[in-house]
Amino acid sequence: MNILGIESSCDETAAAVVRDGRVILSNQIFSQADMHAIYGGVVPEIASRSHITVVSRLAEEALREAGLDRGDIDAIAVTAAPGLIGALLVGVNFAKGAALALGVPLIPVHHVRGHIAANYLAFPELEPPFLCVAISGGNTAIVDVRGYTDMRILGSTHDDAAGECFDKAARVLGLPYPGGLPLQNLAEGGDDGAFVLPRAKIEGHPYDMSFSGLKTAVVNIVHNAAQKGEELDRAGLAASFQRAVSESLVPRAMAAAEELGYKTVVVAGGVAANKRVRADFEAACRAAGRELFIPPLKLCGDNGAMIAAQGYYEYVSGVRAGQELNAYATMDLDRVIF
């Protein structure tokens, strides 16, 4: 079954064709990073207009790369939640039109479920159940993945997502947007014990997280140094920040896996590309005798292949949408209602 996946939840427009939820036939991505860099973050209106400009062409390029004609597509999957509402609507409306024109089923997909499914593309042997840590620019959650479409959130952030915190810390350190990679590069020359940064705990909710205090601590350190005219150990602060994020994620994930009795841990989302986070998960899983799955860097960020992959499993479970399909800025991945 060939599924065309469309992703437009933030600042990447993506289209891909995936066969049977596991085999990538094409994966086209148009990044808007340069457009938003001068603003230090994503400008929703600019993102939406860019999606409108490129989505149709990108879908055609995905078909061309896959060596398929329009008639070879069996269904269209599209990110319908969560994300920037204007950006989502571009993808949803394109997918509705394409599904109607081709006479094929339309499958709405939750963005974070798509990130989890990126691991199915990278690891054909991976099957639920498993414990997943989904960490991206807009979402951070520890998820009990019982089945391909049966998931339960064990814990999530109460405020900023981990990826958002990376971007804001990078910005105050004078690094370009998107901030994940520049901050990682800066941290490589730093002492991760140079600064004592907070790791929030939520009383009564051991798997929930909070990153706003960490973000504020970094902002205050930078501003205080500037006000006093003191030289700031930027590399040490970047390294200490990465350590704090990782130590907010890894122990919780390992404790959740222990509680559920899972021997398999999966990491997904843009922050899964961070070297420190990857290394700490690898060390923790090795010490605990658990098998770890983290997708390659090209599948960590937003892409259409992950949406097509999850779309296949949603299709198998009976999920369909009509022309009344709408987009939603927020939606829990374990309470998906389209």
On the question of pLDDT at 213 being above 90, the answer is yes
Q: Are 141 and 112 in contact (CB under 8 A)?
A: yes
Percent of residues, the chain, with pLDDT higher than 90:
95
> How far is residue 169's CA from residue 160's CA, in Å, rounded to a whole number?
12
pLDDT tens digits along 273-313: 999 999 999 999 999 999 999 999 999 999 999 999 999 99
Q: pLDDT confidence of 329, banded at 50, 70, 90?
A: very high
List Cα–Cα distances, 179 to 71, 90, 169, 183, 200, in angstroms.
Answer: 41, 26, 8, 6, 22
Q: Where are the domains of the chain?
A: 2-115+301-316, 126-298
pTM for the full model?
0.96
- Determine the average pLDDT of the residues in 199-220: 95
DSSP 231: P
Q: Can you name the CATH fold of 2-115+301-316?
A: Nucleotidyltransferase; domain 5 (3.30.420)
> How far is residue 34's CA from residue 13's CA, in Å, rounded to a whole number?
13
State which CATH number among 3.40.50.970, 3.40.1590.10, 3.30.420.40, 1.10.150.120 fits the domain covering 126-298.
3.30.420.40
pLDDT tens digits along 11-53: 999 999 999 999 999 999 999 988 898 888 899 999 999 999 9
- Determine the average pLDDT of the residues in 165-181: 94
Return the amino acid letter for 13.
Answer: T
On the question of pLDDT at 315 being above 90, the answer is yes
pLDDT tens digits along 89-148: 999 999 999 999 999 999 999 999 999 999 999 999 999 999 999 998 889 999 999 999
Give yes or no on whether 2-115+301-316 and 126-298 have one common fold.
yes
pLDDT reported for residue 137: 85
Exposure pattern of 154-185 as b/e (b: 16+ CB <10 Å)? bbbbeebbbbbbbbbbbbbbebebbbbbbbbe
On the question of pLDDT at 189 being above 90, the answer is no
What tokens does 139 get? 């979402």
